[in-house]
Structure 1
């Protein structure tokens, strides 16, 4: 029996095992790419480009779930429906390769898919898409998160995705994982100097400057203090650290509080995003303000925050406990 099998009704194999491809209702990748905008201003992927990338990844995930793999994957195998969803045509599916060979083929399949996705954007690959395709090429072990990578979430679900992850990380997972993720955030672009990044944008700075920014100060120690003062106690409580008998904050605790302030700022921004658009009377919105605009500027200035959180959760075996798929549909 041939190791190849046909992939859906549009493909059959000739006597030599070569695919014969029939016309279908999709368009070629070149045609799709030339007729749709893939990136909006400030390098944010359009919704149709995200649909394309996610559906391509889901095709591979389905093939893998069936215990199979592709012999090869290239742009000429891709057909695209009007809504951006991908179907593979003319591919050869290996139905019974040896385990080691299947693993090698699957790795190559995801690598090829990453090249196709990058090619969709040309010279303007958004930073979060770059993060996704880099993982597809280099970190096969985390492939379960590829279809729910933050770069692919619709803009309408972007705030809900952060809220879901924030609350899960802060309140549900073991505290040592929470603390480790906070420390990782310090390495994400624009996070170490996040207040400076935020202060130059009027939409974001409204949240930062609420109560004169007191919510985001670092409660450093005071000379000759004899006990923790209220702001320090609150910070430790938010970290889930018992204060015990300590009289001052340790350097390690300060190192956790710094990213915690940013971590909570992004959550607070969602809850208070409409306040930035209020007119002076406090009753009506400014003409050109929109919640979507607030979400876009947050995504532009901090494009890798959610992907880094997801990746840390995935590597710790914690991401699968969340059902994020509804946010991507």
Structure 2
């Protein structure tokens, strides 16, 4: 029996060579990531809630948007303009679940846009109860001497500054019982040598989550984070990894394959729901059996 036997229906490497320009489209991947489009079944765990999800067009953010909608939440998603095709599919899936869908394209590297995103999401949904940060920038570089200030700034603005701006804009709108969920990475704890800037931001997100969990608890706002290991998303095929790594992506963990976004979405649902009323400042690792935390 192979070590991937617990979930044999999901694809394992080797994968086909499939480089895409940033930010990458899920619709062009082979195989396409499974975000629960046909499999996720909700149970009303987020009935009546209103959620903003960054990076909601594809990958983990897409899976979270689908799961939230099928659990009864109205959902606003943010994405970049080139990802409009993938985003349109998510909007249709949210509406097919009988929920309100709000689409707000734009670049999170702008503080002004982050404030407008929160405002547009709250207006479109009639309020805001949940903020989920899934959008991220990851681009490998073998040598720090070759890592430009422009690339470094791009990663920090997308991954750290945007999170600060979004939370700062959202907190005044969040009532007691609300939840903020960030997305860190196993790289926060075991940094890949070719992902120096990305790993730095993910460590910062984990640290920020723990601090805000303490700071915002008196307001009744819980703050938690999810730390994925290798997950099959457009991030990987659009410069996050060399093609040689993409072809064997996920082979190094105990499952011998990458996770599919549908496999991590239930963790976000749990952290967003009232079932996690005693959980804040925590980082939940979903790493395929390897790495920290988890």
Tell me if both proteins adopt one fold, taking TM over 0.5 as the criterion: no
Which of the five TM-score ranges fits, normalised by the shorter chain?
under 0.3
TM-score by length of 2: 0.28
Larger Rg: 1
Structure number having the greater helix percentage? 1
Structure possessing the higher relative contact order (Cα contacts under 8 Å, 6 or more residues apart): 2
